[in-house]
Structure 1
Amino acid sequence: MDLKKNSVTDIYLINNGDKTIKLLPYFETPIEFQNRSLEPMLQCFPKFIILKPKEQKIVKLEFKRNEKLEFKKNEDYKSYIIFKELPTDSKSIQNEDTIILNEIGVGIIGQNSK
């Protein structure tokens, strides 16, 4: 991402499985980037995602520049958008079946070059 301007980026999510999945997107920053985090300037829409089997959805990732912050030149700023799968069947949880939920992170790197 270019840190000099506000932007919106599309993220394409595809459910290639045979079951409906629910996803909760959130942001996280690696420890080594805590002083160069993008989290406060990022938003994701929608805030909650339901993907039916073989369905594709577009998630909007918005970067809104904070004019009060001054970005250092030639330094990278980084955060992750994490998509966490949520349980879809409360009966399975109550019956204590083994449930494996997925979580995937996509790195977001902002640069302030020149």
Structure 2
Amino acid sequence: MKKIYLFFMMLFASALAYGTNFSVAPTRFVLRIDKVATNEVYVSNNTQKPLRIETHIESDAEFGSGYNLNSNIAVFPKVIGIKPGGKQVVRFRVKPGKNMEDGEYKSYIVFKEIPPEIKTMGEKKKSGDSTTNITIVTELGISIYGSIGEEILKGRVENFKGNFRGKNLEINFDTISEGNTSFKYKYVVEDERGNILNEGKAGISPRNGKKHIRLGISELIKFKGNSVKIKILDQYDNMLHEEKVKI
């Protein structure tokens, strides 16, 4: 018998996505780590079978792998069992390290389902035949941002382009981060009278460096033929870029 484990990778996406064997909430923590802090995560079993889930810590290379909290985070328990339809609390503690530079750090806590043992009994096969068992394994990651000392948010938006293609308004821009904290971008689309037509999250920059951000907005088809104003804001609602685009 051939055993194949198909890993259903859902890392770093919304942990409340439909169709996963378990869900995790909250999906993001933004913390001050000047002193030790303990937080709780709720893990829910979305199936009618028992689940076992293990955890580990990963850094984010796009954010800046050298600015991680891998050695600062302790998760307990590291392995949990959840009954069908049940919920389990997992706690994690974040403590500041020695000689940490001021600014923001980031890591992921990854929750990974431990696949059950698969057994096949009493099967008779012709020569050359094989049986394949596929197990769908859910793996989810939540973001942990930790800041210490003075946070410096400094940077700009470059090479902004807004185009209407097909049924979507496409927004592209480069983010330049020059401080010690990442930008958490928001977008706002307004009509010519200043009424908000659409708004939401636009992406996250590295702690320091350059990154291209691209997003599509599909809810504006009924405004096709009109001009709209696109605004890019930071997490404190400071205006970074504003441009009029015809859709």
**Alignment TM class, shorter chain as reference:** 0.7 to 0.9
Q: Which runs of 5+ in 2 are unaligned?
A: 1-30, 121-130, 151-247
Q: Which has the larger radius of gyration?
A: 2
Where do 1:1-114 residues align within 5 Å? 1-32=31-62, 33-66=64-97, 68-72=98-102, 75-91=103-119, 96-112=132-148, 114=150
SS of alignment partner, residue 136 of structure 2: coil
Q: Which runs of 5+ in 1 are unaligned?
A: none
- Distance, in Å, in 2 between the alignment partners of 1:98 and 1:37 is 35
Equivalent residue pairs, number: 109
TM-score by length of 2: 0.42
Q: Compare the two structures and name the one with the higher strand fraction.
A: 2
Look up the equivalent residue of 1:42 and give its one-letter code. Answer: I
Native 8 Å contact 2:52 2:113 kept in 1: yes
Query: 4+ runs of 1 displaced by more than 3 Å?
Result: none
- Distance, in Å, in 2 between the alignment partners of 1:60 and 1:4 is 19
Look up the equivalent residue of 1:53 and give its one-letter code. Answer: P
SS of alignment partner, residue 4 of structure 1: coil
Q: 1:47 offset after TM fit, Å?
A: 1.2
Q: 1:60 offset after TM fit, Å?
A: 0.6
Q: What RMSD, in angstroms, separates the aligned Cα atoms of the two structures?
A: 1.6
Provide, for residues 5-32 of structure 1, a one-character-per-residue CA deviation record: whole Å limited to 9, x for no partner.
Answer: 1010000111121111111100000113
- Distance, in Å, in 1 between the alignment partners of 2:108 and 2:133 is 31
Aligned to 2:180: none
- Distance, in Å, in 1 between the alignment partners of 2:36 and 2:71 is 13
Query: Relative contact order, CA 8 A, sep 6+: which one is greater?
Result: 1
Q: Compare the two structures and name the one with the higher helix fraction.
A: 1
TM-score by length of 1: 0.87
- Distance, in Å, in 1 between the alignment partners of 2:132 and 2:117 is 11
- Distance, in Å, in 2 between the alignment partners of 1:14 and 1:30 is 25
